[in-house]
Amino acid sequence: MVDTAPADDVDSLNRDLNQELLRHRELTREGGGREAVEKQHAKGKLTARERIERLLDPGSFQEVAPYVEERRPKGPHIPGDAAVVGLGRIDGRKVAVAAQDFTVIGGSFSEAQAQKVCEVMDLATGSGVPFIALNDSVGARIQEGVRSLAGYSELFWRNTQASGVIPQISLMLGPCAGGSVYSPGLTDFVIMTEGISHMFITGPEVIREVTGEDVDLETLGGARNHAAVSGVAHFVAADEEDAFATTRKLLSYLPSNNTERPPRIGTQDDPDRADATLDVLVPPDGSEPYDMREAITSIFDRESFFEVHAAFAPNAIVGFVRLNGAPTGVVANQPDHLAGVLDIDASDKIARFVRFCDAFNIPLVTFVDCPGFMPGMEQEHGGIIRHGAKILYAYAEATVPKVCVVTRKAYGGAYIAMSSKYVRTDMVYAWPTAEIAVMGAEGAVNILYRKRLAQSDHPEEAREQLISDFHEQFGSPYAAAASGHVDDVILPSETRAKLVAVFDFLQDKQASPLPKKHGNIPL
């Protein structure tokens, strides 16, 4: 016969254990303590838990590993250390989330933090759900030495393994110094929050010590400069709420992983809607600018254009739209800025976006009005050959359905690179204003007829005539259409209906790339 404790004793023991759990749980929720939380709020920042609550659907957060703490015998042993991680939902869809807790030693990256973040990353990658990082950290925990560096390395390794498998989004919600910037740098999208977020490898003090230069944090690594100058940030949010709203909106265009299609929604917008204003949008005079955004917002579903990297290389446009409810990637030259020329930054912007869309089964539409690649010593020495080649590579590699619309200039390398038939674009349309040529008329005449013009008695008249002849030959899309280099010439107002119809045909496109380990995109 087995002795058993009286029922009342068991009940009381259970109650004690449960009380102990609740006390432990309470401790994990305190982070760095009340004073540190007040300091965080005084800086205009939310705490890690407040952020998770505001980002996710109410009540959906399932915390993981809340008890993990510092390993050093004399370490701070704060339950949960400097991160809150777990699983949850956004608009009903599953996500994994890791929020750094600045109230615990400045959110410094420790071995314990690495263990927690890596655990949810493994869950996210294994289950095919997007990973969202809420970053707010001073960098590697200096007191831990190589262990914090090893922790970072584990995170970077996982970011790389997950790349192209699940979407990874980084929200920057505080200072992100040293190693803290490389995980965001490896993810697909970086959202910086104005005023409170700063990204830098070396801070102002180190810079002063090494170079003697005095720099302030905002100029060095603030949201505006990373969005417009370095291109590190894809989005700038006005505040934390805006950063969460941007994240939710971005996710609405993305599949949860690379085996899914992006989520299609119902739309009231007529697939055959024809906007007559498009027929007069493009000025026939090639030197006159116009705003390509007007074409994009008119052709795709109403209110669906969500621009990415808007402040960086504004001579190119990339973003997400919906076409008859289906998420689609849009790439375009912007004649309103630098005549839509392709330079180093525009090349990086376009290539990276095309590769993201291809990895996540998002079809692509490209609008072309481009005089070519940017001439000049600065661009040549900056590696325009290496960077421009990325566009060619990205389009040639992409196997998602691809459609191109030439609205005006498609000159030279820009014609080839910007989703021409030769990078295996499925359908190339041209508007009546399209000009497809090796280069612009003036440049061509200068090169081809230099000697003849030098010997002419009336060089200006001769030049005008030659330019006009060149325009006649290449100033319309019919020569390219006659030789099959474009598939059809369409009215601008017909574009929406054409795109809806053609993507319907292409949606089950099959592709069989050659077997290889991976290609070697010119970086």
Q: Which positions are catalytic?
A: 178-179, 413-414
**Distance in Å, CB of 181 to ligand HXC, minimum:** 9
- CA torsion sign for 17, 20, 22, 28 is negative
- Count other C-beta atoms under 10 Å from residue 118's C-beta: 17
Number of residues that bind ligand HXC (CB under 6 A): 16
- Minimum CB distance to ligand HXC smaller for 103 or for 347: 103
177 is a site residue for ligand HXC (CB under 6 A): yes
Q: Which of 86, 88, 139, 184 binds ligand HXC (CB under 6 A)?
A: 139
**Distance in Å, CB of 48 to ligand HXC, minimum:** 14
108 is a site residue for ligand HXC (CB under 6 A): yes
- Minimum CB distance to ligand HXC smaller for 57 or for 154: 154
106 is a site residue for ligand HXC (CB under 6 A): yes
- Segment interacting with ligand HXC, rule: CB under 6 A, options 111-119, 170-178, 296-304, 324-332: 170-178
b/e map 71-92, b = 16+ CB within 10 Å: eeeebeebbbbbbbbbbbbbee
Residues in the chain: 523
175 is a site residue for ligand HXC (CB under 6 A): yes
313 is a site residue for ligand HXC (CB under 6 A): no
> Which ranges of 93-216 does DSSP label H, i.e. alpha helix?
111-127, 146-162, 182-186, 204-211
Contacts of 330 (CB under 8 A, 6+ apart): 296, 300, 305, 317, 318, 319, 320, 321, 364, 365, 366, 367
3-state secondary structure labels for all residues of 116-152 = HHHHHHHHHHHHCCCEEEEEEECCECHHHCHHHHHHH
**Distance in Å, CB of 176 to ligand HXC, minimum:** 8
**Distance in Å, CB of 428 to ligand HXC, minimum:** 44
Q: Which three-class secondary structure state does DSSP give residue 69?
A: coil
- Minimum CB distance to ligand HXC smaller for 140 or for 434: 140
48 is a site residue for ligand HXC (CB under 6 A): no
221 is a site residue for ligand HXC (CB under 6 A): no
Q: Which of 31, 178, 262, 388 binds ligand HXC (CB under 6 A)?
A: 178
Q: Which of 130, 203, 329, 492 binds ligand HXC (CB under 6 A)?
A: 203
Q: How far apart are the first and last CA of the chain?
A: 75
Residue 348 C-beta-side C-alpha neighbours within 13 Å: 15
140 is a site residue for ligand HXC (CB under 6 A): yes
Tokens 């490209």 identify what position? 366
Residues 352-411 that bind ligand HXC (CB under 6 A): none
142 is a site residue for ligand HXC (CB under 6 A): yes
Q: Which of 138, 351, 437, 444 binds ligand HXC (CB under 6 A)?
A: 138
- Minimum CB distance to ligand HXC smaller for 217 or for 447: 217
179 is a site residue for ligand HXC (CB under 6 A): yes
326 is a site residue for ligand HXC (CB under 6 A): no
How wide is the angle at C-alpha 236 spanned by C-alphas 418 and 369, nearest 5°? 20
335 is a site residue for ligand HXC (CB under 6 A): no
Q: Which of 105, 124, 250, 400 binds ligand HXC (CB under 6 A)?
A: 105
Residue 403 C-beta-side C-alpha neighbours within 13 Å: 25
- Report yes or no: 92 and 64 within 8 Å, Cβ to Cβ: no
3-state secondary structure labels for all residues of 283-321 = CCCCCCCCCHHHHHHHHCCCCCCEEECCCCCCCEEEEEE
- Minimum CB distance to ligand HXC smaller for 142 or for 280: 142
493 Cα distance to chain centroid: 30
CA separation, residue 265 to residues 195, 253, 308, 327, 450 (Å): 35, 10, 20, 9, 57
Q: Which of these, 264, 243, 314, 240, lies nearest to 47 by C-alpha position?
A: 240
CA separation, residue 434 to residues 294, 408, 411, 486, 499 (Å): 17, 4, 10, 10, 18
Distance CA 117, CA 97 (A): 8
141 is a site residue for ligand HXC (CB under 6 A): yes
**Distance in Å, CB of 160 to ligand HXC, minimum:** 13
- Minimum CB distance to ligand HXC smaller for 220 or for 251: 220
30 is a site residue for ligand HXC (CB under 6 A): no
- CA torsion sign for 288, 291, 292, 295 is negative
31 is a site residue for ligand HXC (CB under 6 A): no
- Segment interacting with ligand HXC, rule: CB under 6 A, options 45-53, 175-183, 333-341, 407-415: 175-183
158 is a site residue for ligand HXC (CB under 6 A): no
- Minimum CB distance to ligand HXC smaller for 96 or for 105: 105
- Segment interacting with ligand HXC, rule: CB under 6 A, options 174-182, 224-232, 288-296, 458-466: 174-182
- Minimum CB distance to ligand HXC smaller for 44 or for 126: 44
Contacts of 523 (CB under 8 A, 6+ apart): 386, 390
- Segment interacting with ligand HXC, rule: CB under 6 A, options 93-101, 176-184, 473-481, 499-507: 176-184
- Minimum CB distance to ligand HXC smaller for 179 or for 262: 179
Angle between helices 292-299 and 495-506 (to 10 degrees): 60
- Segment interacting with ligand HXC, rule: CB under 6 A, options 105-113, 233-241, 301-309, 509-517: 105-113
The footprint of ligand HXC (CB under 6 A) covers: 105-106, 108, 138-142, 149, 152, 175, 177-179, 182, 203
